[in-house]
Amino acid sequence: MPERYALRFQVEYPDRELDRVSTGFRIFTVIPIAIVLAALSGASAQLGTGAGSTTLVLGGAGLLFLPPLLMLVFREKYPRWWLDWNRELLRFTNRVGAYLALMSDRYPATDDEQYVRLDFDDPEPRRDLNR
């Protein structure tokens, strides 16, 4: 029996010819959804090199880093809402990436799975070693 992987990823290639006109303008049509993606997932940039460099970090999801970290450290529990958020953000990111990589000409939606299937197993609960 083959081993099951924790992450499953599949991109359905369309069974029809892709629209050549939209392919030519793809770099421009992806800008609005890329702005939404950058606002959700965050971005970082390093300005300069060496000892005088400055790192600039922007993002929305980066603001939600500390609360789950504290829950992991003190309660030893990964919040279910955070797992669901990360799963949906990964799905959305991969839809935008597949659209930009010319794997489909359907504009990526923020709420439908569309042509990208991504799923991963829930983390197993930690066993109590004192029992």
Taking only the tens place, the pLDDT of each residue in 8-66 is 888 888 788 877 777 788 888 888 888 888 777 766 666 666 676 776 665 565 556 77
CA gap 69, 50 in Å, rounded: 31
Query: What one-letter code names the amino acid at 60?
Result: G
Q: Is 86 helix (H, G, I), strand (E, B) or coil?
A: helix
Of 26-30, 66-70, 86-90, minimum mean pLDDT range: 66-70
Domain map (residue ranges) of the chain: 22-46+55-114
Q: How many residues does the chain have?
A: 131
